[in-house]
A and B are shown apart, each in its own frame.
Chain A
Amino acid sequence: MAFSFDRYAAIIFIVIGACFIFESRKISETAYGSNVGPDIFPMGLGILLILLSLRLLFETRGTSQDKAATGALDYKKFIIIFAAAILYALFLEKLGYVITTFVFLTIGFQVMEKGKWLKSLVIAGGFSFGIYYVFVKVLDGTLPGFPVFF
C-alpha cells in the first residue's frame, strides 16, 4: 500500500517524539534548588508531538497517494548537485576553500546547463578566488585556503 508523504512524515515524527520521551527519562531528574528538572520540557513536547502526529494520521486516513502529481521532477540534476554539495562540505577542510568551491561551482553550472565552459570557469574561478581574497586578506578571517601540502 502506497502511503502518502504526510503519513510517512507522521510516523517519522511519532518515532522522533518517542525517542525524545525515552531519552529524556535518562536525564538526571532534579536540578539543584528546583523541583522542575531539565527533563520535563522535552518529555512534554515529545508527548505533544506524538499526539499531533496521531491527529495527522487520523486526518489523512484513506488518502493513499499525494493528490497533486506535480509533473516530472528533475531528480537527476538535484541528486548530482546535492551529492556535489556533500562532497564539497566533506573536503572543504582537507582540500581548502578555493579548489573545492571552484570545482563545486563548475559542476553546478554545467549540471544546470551544459556548454559555455569558458563562462562557467571564469565565474567559478572569480567567485572562489574573490571570496577567499576578500575574506582572508581584507577581513582577516580564517578559512582553509589551499591543501596543506601546498
Chain B
Amino acid sequence: MEALHFLGDGFSIALQWHNIAFAFFGVLIGTAVGVLPGIGPMSGVALLIPVTATITSGLDPQSAAASSIILLAGVYYGAMYGGSTTSILLNTPGESSSVVTVLDGYQMAKKGRAGAALSIAAIGSFVAGIVSLIGLVLLAEPLSNIALEFGPAEYFSLMLLGLCAVSGLAGSSMTKALMMTVVGLLMATIGIDSVSGVSRFTYDNPNLYSGLEFLTIAVGLFALGEVFKTILEKDNGDGDIIKVKKILPTKQDLKDSAAPITRGSLLGFFIGVLPGAGATLASFFSYIMEKKISKDPKKFGQGAIEGVAAPESANNAASGGALIPLLTLGIPGSGTTAILMGALIMYDVQPGPLLFDDHPEVAWGLIASMFIGNVMLLVLNMPLVKVFSKIIETPKKYLLPIIIAISIFGVYAVQNTMFDLLLLLACGAAGYFLAKHDFPLAPLVLGLVLGPMIENNMRRALTGSDGDFMIFLQSPISLIFLIFALLWILIPVVLKMRGKNVITNEEG
C-alpha cells in the first residue's frame, strides 16, 4: 500500500506544530464563516488567501504552500460544519448547502431538541469527512496515474467538460452561466501571453502585464459583493435565537441517524466528485432520498432527526469529494475549489496529476491535515456549540466595514498597487449587481482560473496537429469528454423544454 506510506509522510507534515495551528485556525474561522449568515465558504476562503499569504511569507515556498492550503481547506470544510448551526437555531441557513437542514433542524430546535440536532449534525459531518477522506486517499493515486496519460487535446476537452458541468448547473439561467464562463476566460487572456510572449489587451499599462490578479477579482466578487448586498438589502436577520440546552444526543437519536449518516456520506461523496454538482445538490438529494426510503415520510419537516443527519453528512462528504478532481486532475468542480486552485497557483503549485509527484508534501500534507481538522471540528463543535451560537449575535454594523477593511488590507499587502484596490472595489460592485440578477459568479472565477491552461493546451494540441481542429475529435478520450460536456449542457435544456424542474446548484 503505497498510498498509506505517503499518507504517513503527510501526517509527519501535518503534525508539525505550526501546521496543527494552521489547521486549527482554519477550521475555527471556517466554523465562524459558516455560522455567520452572509459570508459563505467562497468569500471566506477568498478573504483569507491574502491573510495566509502574509502569515506564511517567512516559510520556504513549499511549506508556505502546504501551510496555507491547510488553513484554507480548513475554512472550506469548517464552513460546512458551521452552516448547520444557524439553520437549526435561527431558521436561516448560514450558507446554501445547509438550506435543507432548516426544514427539520429548526423544528427540532423548537421542540427543545436543538442540542441533539446540533450534535448529530456535527457527528454526521465528522463521519462524512472521514469517509470522503478515505475515498480521497484510495482514489488519488490511480486517478492521477490515468490523468498522466493525457495529452494536451485530452486536457483541453477535460477542462471544457469541467466548465460546461459547472455552467450547466449554476444558477437559474444557463445562458447567463455560460456568459459568465466566457467573461472569465476572456479576462484570463489579458496580460502577456505565456506561449508567444506577446502582450494582449494591456495598452502599455504595467499593471496589466501580469494579467488581472485572480486574488483581487475573487475577493472583490465574493467578499465585497456579499458585504454590499447586506448593506443594501438591510438583511438584518434579527430572529430569535433558540437557546441550546442539552447537547448530547440520546441513544435513540444515534440509532435513528446511523443509517442516514452512512447513506448521506456515500451519496454526498459521489456527488462531490462529479464536477459541477457540489455540496448544495448533495444535501438536497440526500434529504429527498431519506424521505423516500423512510417508513414514515410524514415526520419529515416536523423535526425528524434523519432530516438533519443525512443532508449535513452529505454536504460535508461532497466538500471532501470535490477535492478529488481538483487535486488529481487539476479541474475544480465548484467555485470554492476554483478559489483553492487559484491559491495553489499563487504559490506556484500546479494542481493536477503531477501534484502528487512534484509536491507530495502539499498534497499528502493537506489530506493528512484534513483528518486532524475533522477531529478538531468534532471536538470544537460538540462542547463549544454554545459559544459558536453566540457568534451569530455579532453586530453587522461592525462586521461589514471590517470585512471591507480586511479585503483592502489583504489585497494591498499582496499586490502593493492602488490599481488592484480600485479593481477590487469595481469587482465588488459588479459582483453585487451580477449576483442580484442571477448571473452566477462561480463560473466566472472558474473561467479565470482555467483560462490560461485551457488556452495553452488548446494551442499545444493545435500546434501538434498543424492547426487541424479535428484532433480533439480523433483522440477517443478527448471525444468522450466532449460528448459528456455537450450532454451536460443539452440534457438540462431538453428537460426544461419538457417542463421538468431542473435542480440547480446555487452555491456553485
Contact = CB atoms under 8 A, between A and B. Distances in A.
| Nearest 10 pairs of A and B residues by beta carbon | A108-B401, A31-B196, A112-B397, A89-B421, A38-B193, A36-B462, A42-B189, A113-B397, A49-B182, A41-B455
A142 B416 CA distance: 9
A105 B405 contact: yes
B418 A90 contact: yes
Given A36-B463, A41-B455, A93 B233 contact: no
Interface in A47-77: 48-49, 52-53, 55-56, 59, 66, 70-71, 73-75, 77
Q: Which of B196, B400, B425 has the most CB of A within 10 A?
A: B196
B409 A88 contact: no
Nearest to B194: A38
Contacts of B234: 74
B183 interface: yes
Contacts of B422: 86, 89-90
20 contacts: A13-B179, A16-B183, A27-B198, A31-B196, A33-B463, A35-B466, A35-B467, A38-B196, A41-B189, A41-B458, A41-B459, A77-B231, A85-B425, A86-B422, A92-B408, A97-B409, A104-B404, A109-B397, A123-B402, A140-B58
A112 B401 contact: yes
B284 to A, nearest CB: 23
A23 B201 contact: yes
A48 B436 CA distance: 24
Given A36-B467, A41-B459, A89-B421, A108 B185 contact: no
A17 B178 CA distance: 14
Nearest to B416: A142
A45 B439 CA distance: 18
Contact of B231 (A81, A104, A128, A141): A81
For the residues of B in contact with A, the DSSP-based class is helix
A37 B198 CA distance: 10
A27 B232 contact: no
B195 A9 contact: no
B54 A141 contact: yes
B407 to A, nearest CB: 9
B216 to A, nearest CB: 12
Interface residues of A, number: 68
A104 B425 CA distance: 14
B463 A104 contact: no
Contacts of A38: 193, 195-196, 198, 200
Contact of B179 (A35, A56, A86, A123): A56
B186 A45 contact: yes
B130 to A, nearest CB: 35
A9 to B, nearest CB: 7
B413 interface: yes
A85 B219 CA distance: 15
A137 B416 CA distance: 18
Interface of A: 5-6, 9, 13, 16-17, 20, 23-24, 27-28, 31-42, 45-46, 48-49, 52-53, 55-56, 59, 66, 70-71, 73-75, 77-78, 81-82, 85-86, 88-90, 92-93, 97, 101, 104-105, 107-109, 112-113, 123, 127-128, 131, 135, 139-143
Nearest to A112: B397
B405 A82 contact: no
A62 to B, nearest CB: 16
Nearest to B227: A81
A33 B176 CA distance: 37
A98 to B, nearest CB: 11
Contacts of B402: 105, 123, 127
Interface string B273-317: 000000000000000000000000000000000000000000000
B21 interface: no
Contacts of A66: 437
Given A27-B198, A56-B175, A82-B429, A92 B421 contact: yes
B195 A74 contact: no
A42 B198 CA distance: 13
Interface string B458-492: 11001100110000000000000000000000000
Contacts of B196: 31-32, 34, 37-38
A119 to B, nearest CB: 8
B25 interface: no
B412 interface: yes
Given A31-B195, A56-B175, A81 B186 contact: no
Contacts of B182: 45, 48-49, 52
B404 A49 contact: no
B57 A141 contact: yes
Q: Which of A5, A53, A89 has the most CB of B within 10 A?
A: A89
Interface in B88-104: none
